[in-house]
Amino acid sequence: MAPPFLKTREEYQKLVDSVDTFLLDCDGVIYHGPKVVPGVKIVLDMFREQGKKIIFVTNNGTKSRRKLKETFDKLGLGATIEECFGSAYASAVYLAEVLNFPKDKQVYVVGEEGLEEELDSFGIKHCGGSDPEDREFKPPIVWEDFKPDDSVGAVLCAFDSWINYKKMAKAMTYLRNNPECVLIQTNTDPTFPTHGSLYPGSGSLSIGIVNASKRTPLVIGKPNKHMMDAILAHHKFDPARALMVGDNLLTDIEFGLNSDIRTLLVMGGVTPNDQIYGDNPSKTVPTFVMESFGDLAVLAEEK
């Protein structure tokens, strides 16, 4: 059965009245690349004035919460650190508080500075990542560089625009030679939307490490419930009074469904209309659909 498409002020108000906590995807819901979705700032300000909790939930593994806040500040959206929850932070939380990652071990990072910053905030030692020796690799290959390192207790993969053969080979070496070394992915997104198009995402960049190591990774980000477990541990809200808002069926909407939280799909992102209302719709069905999250701004207007 197709989900209801919300269009009227009355439908918007009924939905908003039923929600205390809004879990919001970012790119595709709040902004498209460098542009804020029309009406969104009004909506966020209205919700804050009403005392509703806002949590920006993104699979972006390159940005720390501090950097996510800077992004929102530059867009004039005024987010707080507490409102920001990315897969980089969630991965650090999981390592520190769920896996109790040993103090004498380090994480080999296939990722960027934002991920390293979050590991630092929990006192987790790490290598790889932005290290010039790995980042600036150029052939020929020095095979002696790929030696086992017993101090590496986890390989953590995120989006890494500096991905190269050396990083992949090192990661595989640590995983192959130490059965207790854990393989973690911040997310498995095959693509990500930006500047009006789609580009290779974290999952596409790290698939070579997954395939070569023959390991089943622990995936933290959406749609996996690990992300929601971390959010709930930090924010303590009632899931029955929460709503996950996103533009992607396979990440945002399945994330809500996997966490037993209602979902709102907004159009204009990565999900075409026929996947919801076509002749052969997706098996992933959101609770509600609307054109744009910014359309809720009508509720801030006087009747």
Note the Cα 301 to chain centre separation in Å. Answer: 32
Distance between terminal CA atoms of the chain?
Answer: 33
The whole-chain average pLDDT of the chain stands at 94
- Dihedral through CA 173, CA 174, CA 180, CA 185, nearest 10? -100
Give the pLDDT score at 234: 82
Domains in the chain, start-ordered, CATH in brackets?
Answer: 9-59+223-300 (3.40.50.1000), 89-219 (3.40.50.1000)
For residue 63, the one-letter residue type is: K
pLDDT band for position 56 (cuts 50, 70, 90): very high
- 20 assigned binding-site residue: no
- 229 assigned binding-site residue: no
- Find the catalytic residue in 17, 25, 45, 189: 25
- 25 assigned binding-site residue: yes
Give the pLDDT score at 194: 76
260 is an active site residue: no
For residue 90, the one-letter residue type is: A
- Find the catalytic residue in 17, 27, 45, 252: 27
**pLDDT, tens digit, for every residue of 29-54?**
999 878 999 999 999 999 999 999 99
Q: What's the pTM value of the predicted model, to 2 decimals?
A: 0.86
**pLDDT, tens digit, for every residue of 119-136?**
999 999 999 999 999 999
149 is an active site residue: no
**Which pair of structure tokens corresponds to residue 74?**
């530059």
Are 58 and 110 spatial neighbours (Cβ–Cβ below 8 Å)? no
Q: How far apart are CA 245 and CA 30, in angstroms?
A: 10
Please report, rounded to a whole number, the percentage of residues in the chain having pLDDT higher than 90: 84
Give the pLDDT score at 303: 64
User: Which residue bears the tokens 């959406």?
Assistant: 222
User: Which residue bears the tokens 């989006």?
Assistant: 159
- 238 assigned binding-site residue: no
